[in-house]
Amino acid sequence: MTWSRADLERVAERVRGSVLWDEPMSRHSSLRVGGPADLFLEPADQDDLKAAVEALLEGGIPSMVVGGGYNLLVRDGGIRGCVISLKRLDTMDQMPGARLDVGAGVTNQALTRFAAENCLGGIEFLCGIPGSFGGALTMNAGANGSETFLRVESLTTMRGGEVLVRKGTEAEYGYRYLKLEPGEIVLGARLRLEPEERRLIEARMQEYIAKRGGQRVGFPNAGSFFKNPPGENAWRLIDQAGLRGKTVGGAQVSEVHTNFLVNRGDARAADFLTLAAFIKLRVKEESGVELEEEVRIVGEG
Ligand SMILES: Cc1cc2nc3c(=O)[nH]c(=O)nc-3n(C[C@H](O)[C@H](O)[C@H](O)COP(=O)(O)OP(=O)(O)OC[C@H]3O[C@@H](n4cnc5c(N)ncnc54)[C@H](O)[C@@H]3O)c2cc1C
């Protein structure tokens, strides 16, 4: 480590937004595990974010962005350096031609409500996916046969303090994947939507929410832990390997949905990592398929 606490303090001094020291990441992950981040920043706006990013670069300090933490497993040793939350970059602006400019800090729920209220269809599939719009873009979140990038006209990011805009068609994305350069932060996107009657959009939202009944697993989780392999369902492979209810420490394969790993109350990140490694091994032995984590694993062991 070539930087010190004093370097971090110099970063914190440059930021107008909120500053937290040794912030437990279990508060920012839906799995409710994870050690502390040395410095946790919530910049007040885009200029404040730029100041933070530049100060971090000057100090050679590593950083990462967290959204809602619904797809995040933070190791027990926590995160060295800085974690940035874009919660306050939460603007939504309606533009001509059924377009919507949405900041990374907007929640999917606020976005889908706003779009429906303004008779803009096409993004309502996000209504049942927890998290921030920045997280939805970074993960190319999807459900009900749709995915976020199908609606992205342009993507705005920041790298080294510089704002970059690329067309949605120029972005490299795939199943739960968006290619970003190291240190690139998603600021938001312009969506191209369809004018549609509000009641029709809301009817679909209700249908999508109702379909999620089977995901009410009763314990903290991060949704699907593994990606579905091509032509397969990860939950089925895990079930066939006999792992429903398999427990390591406080982490368990949900009894309700076998691709959901749940925190029974006192789990540590290490329990989830051991359980995930065991699942991968057994599924490989049983079906020959290599599962890949959908959940992003970060931090130190
Ligand atoms: C009950 C439940 C159901 C779910 N159902 C679905 C589903 O149907 N479909 C689906 O796709 N997902 C689903 N998920 C997973 C999760 O909701 C999505 O992946 C969501 O998009 C994550 O958003 P987030 O803001 O929580 O991101 P986080 O978990 O905070 O971050 C995810 C990753 O993106 C990075 N990141 C976040 N924001 C930015 C940014 N602005 N710039 C750069 N990097 C960033 C983080 O560093 C991390 O690597 C579900 C989760 C739960 C708990």
> Token digits for 75?
């190791």
Report the predicted TM-score, pTM, of the whole model to 2 decimal places.
0.98
Which pLDDT does position 213 carry in this prediction? 79
Other CB atoms within 10 Å distance of the CB of residue 190: 19
**265-295: b (≥16 Cβ within 10 Å) or e:** eebbbbbbbebbeebbebbeeebebebebbb
Domain spanning 92-214 has what CATH number? 3.30.465.10
Size of the chain in residues: 301
**CA 135 to centroid of ligand 1, rounded, Å:** 4
Judge whether 5-85 and 221-298 match in fold.
no
Number of H helices, E strands in the chain: 7, 21
The candidate with the shortest Cα–Cα distance to 276, out of 228, 243, 299, 300, is: 243
Which pLDDT does position 256 carry in this prediction? 95
Catalytic residue among 176, 190, 268, 282: 176
Per-residue pLDDT of the chain (301 residues; tens, 9 = 90+): 699 999 999 999 999 999 999 999 999 999 999 999 999 999 999 999 999 999 999 999 999 999 999 999 999 999 999 999 999 999 999 999 999 999 999 999 999 999 999 999 999 999 999 999 999 999 999 999 999 999 999 999 999 999 999 999 999 999 999 999 999 999 999 999 999 999 999 999 999 999 997 778 999 999 999 999 999 999 999 999 999 999 999 999 999 999 999 999 999 999 999 999 999 999 999 999 999 999 999 999 8
CA dihedral 96, 166, 169, 197 (to 10 degrees): -20
Amino acid code (one letter) for 18 = S
Ligand 1, atom nearest to 140 Cα = 11
Q: To test ligand 1's pocket by mutation, which of 63, 70, 112 has the most ligand atoms within 8 angstroms of CB? A: 70
Write the class of the CATH domain 221-298: alpha beta
Beta carbon of 70 within 6 Å of any ligand 1 atom: yes
Burial category of 114 from C-beta neighbours within 10 Å (exposed 0-12, middle 13-18, buried 19 and up): middle
List helix spans (H) across the chain: 5-13, 46-59, 108-117, 133-139, 198-211, 234-240, 269-287
Residue 224 among the catalytic residues: yes
Which pLDDT does position 140 carry in this prediction? 98
Beta carbon of 149 within 6 Å of any ligand 1 atom: no
Nearest CA to ligand 1 atom 38: 135
- Residue recorded with tokens 């920041």: 158
Spatial CB neighbours of 132, under 8 Å, sequence gap ≥ 6: 67, 68, 86, 87, 104, 105, 106, 107, 108
Every domain of the chain and the residues it spans: 5-85, 92-214, 221-298
Beta carbon of 148 within 6 Å of any ligand 1 atom: no
Which pLDDT does position 88 carry in this prediction? 98
Which pLDDT does position 117 carry in this prediction? 98
**What CA–CA distance (Å, rounded) separates 4 from 12?**
13
Q: To test ligand 1's pocket by mutation, which of 46, 49, 66 has the most ligand atoms within 8 angstroms of CB? A: 66
- Residue 214 to residues 35, 61, 107, 124, 239: CA-CA distances in angstroms? 30, 42, 23, 19, 15
36 contacts 25 by C-beta, under 8 angstroms = yes
Domain spanning 5-85 has what CATH number? 3.30.43.10
